[in-house]
Amino acid sequence: MDNPSENRLQICEIHGEFRSRLHAKSGKWTRCWACIEAELLALDAQAQQDDARRHRQAVTERRMAESGLEGRMLRAGFDTFVAQIDSQRAVLEACQAFAESVGLEDSRNLWIIGQPGTGKTHLGSAMVRHFIHERDTAAAIFSAREIVRMLRASWGSRGEGAEEAEGDVIERLGRAGLLVLDEVGVGFSTDAERVQLFDVIDLRYKLGRPTVVLSNLKASDMKPILGDRTYDRLREGAKQLVCNWPGSRAEECS
């Protein structure tokens, strides 16, 4: 039987009456066990939240590392795009609305056409960042030529060398929440390159993933460059925005 001098009834303001015991070594009376259990549960919940937060941060960092964003475009946002005239504001608003509302299976694409220095890459980068940070999904911006280089780099890796096999690159870019094709029409012309790019675009087409095309060329001028099949898939369900203001590389939005 417990020594009455070593245990006693006490009142917890939260849980009411409980029996407290005298700790032999510390000489202190034990606290309410219900309070202790609640504190342990809270600590466990906080630990889980911290783990989840660290996991989300790690995933975001990996997505950013694989996004193709480099240099100042890592900081490109809709709020840093310099829109001084109505046409710039209209294109900015359309790009932001597209990034915020387009569904991952809507089969909706966006073409942004304009001369160099009008801010197309800035807007494309802002959309990629929005998808990664605000919509919590993978997104990337690459030129068609860069995608072909990634695919070719995977060829020698089978068994020894590269980080991704060809199929992995196609899956990663094909299933990304958003893909921005930059500089369409620059340094891209062979049938082999068209076939390789088609594999990525065809997977996105099948899944209904949104793709943004950035180019200095008119849409009609891109068909012989992209090839009929890729062009048709990118044009289907696409809205076109024209950056019809003078280009200026000196501006932040260029």
pLDDT digits (tens, 9 = 90+) for 109-164: 999 999 999 999 999 999 999 999 999 999 999 998 899 888 888 766 554 555 67
pLDDT in tens, 45-87: 988 888 888 888 899 999 999 999 999 999 999 999 999 999 9
AA identity, residue 187: G
AA identity, residue 147: I
DSSP conformational letter for 29: B
pLDDT in tens, 8-37: 888 998 899 898 988 877 888 899 999 999
Can you identify the CATH homologous superfamily of domain 69-243?
P-loop containing nucleotide triphosphate hydrolases (3.40.50.300)
- So what's the pLDDT on residue 124? 98
| pLDDT higher than threshold 90 for residue 90 | yes
pLDDT in tens, 177-227: 999 999 887 766 677 788 889 999 999 999 999 999 999 998 888 888 888
Q: How far is CA 74 from CA 68, 95, 128, 182, 253, in A?
A: 9, 17, 10, 15, 13
Cβ atoms of 200 and 194 within 8 Å: the answer is no
Start and end residues for every CATH 3.40.50.300 domain found in the chain: 69-243
Looking at the chain, how many residues does it have?
254
Cβ neighbours of 137 (radius 10 Å): 14
AA identity, residue 36: I
**d(Cα 148, Cα 128) in Å, to the nearest integer?**
20
With 0-12 / 13-18 / 19 or more C-beta atoms within 10 angstroms meaning exposed / middle / buried, residue 146 is middle
Cβ atoms of 182 and 143 within 8 Å: the answer is yes
More confident residue, 185 or 172: 172
Q: Which is it for strands 139-143 and 178-182: parallel, antiparallel or unpaired?
A: parallel
Structure tokens of 20?
Answer: 């407290």
- So what's the pLDDT on residue 161? 53
- pTM tops 0.85: no
